[in-house]
Every structure is written in C-alpha cells, then in structure tokens.
Amino acid sequence: MIIYPAIDMRGGRCVRLTEGRFDKETVFADDPSEMAVKWASLGAEWLHLVDLDGALAGESKNLPAIQKILETIRIPVELGGGIRSMEQIEKLLDLGIARLILGSAAVKNPSLVAEACKNYPGHIACGIDAKNGDVAIEGWGEGSGIGYTELAKRMADVGVDKIIFTDISRDGMLSGVNAEATGELARACGIEIIASGGVASLDDIRRLKPYEKDGVTGCIIGKAIYTGAVDLKVALALAKED
C-alpha cells in the first residue's frame, strides 16, 4: 500500500480544512514546498496535492506553488482541484504532474474523462467525494444526486484505472478512515481505490490493509501527519508490511 501525504493549497499556502469547509481552515505552512521537502525526506513515494481555490473556481489557481513543489522534489505527485478541460489537463501534465484527479468533471462531463483516459493512459484518476452516499461536486459545495458506487462503475467503464474515494464527513476530523466502505467500493467497481478522509492513527492503516486484496492500493493522510497524530515514517513502514 502506498501512503500519500496530502498538501492542500489555498492562497498559495498549505492548509487543512475540516469536513471540506472553507470557514474551518488551519494554515500549516506559508510555503507548501517546505512540506513537500519534509514528506519526501521522510520517505514518501508520492505526494497528493489539492488546489482548493481551483476546486471552487473551476481552474487552476495555485500554479506558482505547484511549480515550486515540482522543481523542489523528485518524487511523483498527483493533483486535483478545478481540472475541467483538456487544455488544463495537457498544461498540467506538461508541467510534470504524474497523475491528474478529475472530480466534478466525472459527474458533469464524463466524456472529458473518457477522452483524457484515452489520450493519457495511466495519468488520469477520478476523485469521488461522498457524503451520506451522495457524490459532492464543485469543491464539495453541491450534491450531485448520484451514488458513489454508481459513479465509480461509470468511471471504470470509461477507462479510469484509479479512484480517490473521500468520505467528506470524516475529512479533517481525525475520526477514522471509512475502511469498510472503501473496500466495498473496490470490490464493486473492480479498479484500484485510494482511501482518503479521516485517517487519525496507525490503526486506520491497519484497518485498510485487509482490503488490499480487494484493490485498496493507497491511503492519503493529511491532518494527522501535520498534527503529529501519525508519524509518517512509521506509517510508510507499516504500509509496506505483508
């Protein structure tokens, strides 16, 4: 299992939100690249970047911070937040992003996801963020009326090979990852799932490990590594255990 340290960017800074609420923000670093260097130095194999401003605006808003991260570290990064056109996809991949995460586009423009998967196989993932079973879009500000399992199956059908699944009600709450729902989703759609939202301790990684056989191949950790609730180095070692 791969552990993905999360770097959420808003206004060029590294922040964390609680339950995706922009009025519940904590700033952890003025320069996100400092956090990127820290997590890479501890052994992270990947970084998970989120452009929070982009998720609201529908276009990339933290490009200078993203570019600085890419120039500073040598491990691959994935990026989500406001990516809603082929032009943006091409531009970001040209910058050096290894994997792009399409969220709202999966609901509003599935043909874009299909085209991106066809043109850039292996570089496109789908972000499915759910609350009470319903997929949320537009920076988590709107419901979609689509169940997360149904959307995951649709994305598998158009060529997506990875899904980042976030339980919004747990995100930033340190209340524990929803391991059972994540495992069920992997079995239902038949493609790789990266768990996100609510990781509070090493026990959450232990809870996810049995679902590796079902296709849960990664776990994103945000607030817990910033507050010290999880030691990233220990988490990385635990994730590699058989």
63-93 pLDDT tens trace: 999 999 999 999 999 999 989 999 999 999 9
Give the tokens for residue 208.
Answer: 């996810």
Distance separating alpha carbons of residues 198 and 174, to the nearest angstrom: 5
Sequence-distant contacts of 177-184: CB under 8 A, at least 24 apart: 177/204, 177/207, 177/208, 177/219, 179/204, 179/207, 179/208, 179/211, 179/216, 182/208, 182/211, 182/216, 183/208, 183/210, 183/211, 183/214, 183/216, 184/149
Nearest CA to 208 out of 223, 226, 192, 229 is that of 192
Bridge pairing between strands 162-167 and 142-147: unpaired
Contact 168, 129 (CB under 8 A): yes
Q: What percent of the chain has pLDDT over 70?
A: 93
Q: What amino acid is encoded at 29 in this protein? A: A
Q: 198 has which bridge partners? A: none
Task: Tell me the pLDDT tens digit for each residue of 181-201.
Answer: 999 999 999 999 999 988 999
Distance separating alpha carbons of residues 78 and 61, to the nearest angstrom: 16
- Is residue 178 scored above 60 in pLDDT? yes
Contact 61, 51 (CB under 8 A): yes
Mean pLDDT of 204-212: 96
Specify burial of residue 168 (Cβ count, 10 A radius: 0-12, 13-18, 19+): buried
pTM for the structure as a whole = 0.91
Query: What positions carry a catalytic annotation?
Result: 8, 129
Contact 224, 230 (CB under 8 A): yes
| Residue 37 C-alpha from the chain's centroid | 19
Q: What is the pLDDT of residue 172?
A: 52
Contact 45, 75 (CB under 8 A): yes
Instruction: Give 167's pLDDT tier (boundaries 50, 70, 90).
Output: confident
Task: Tell me the pLDDT tens digit for each residue of 125-150.
Answer: 999 988 878 888 765 555 667 889 99
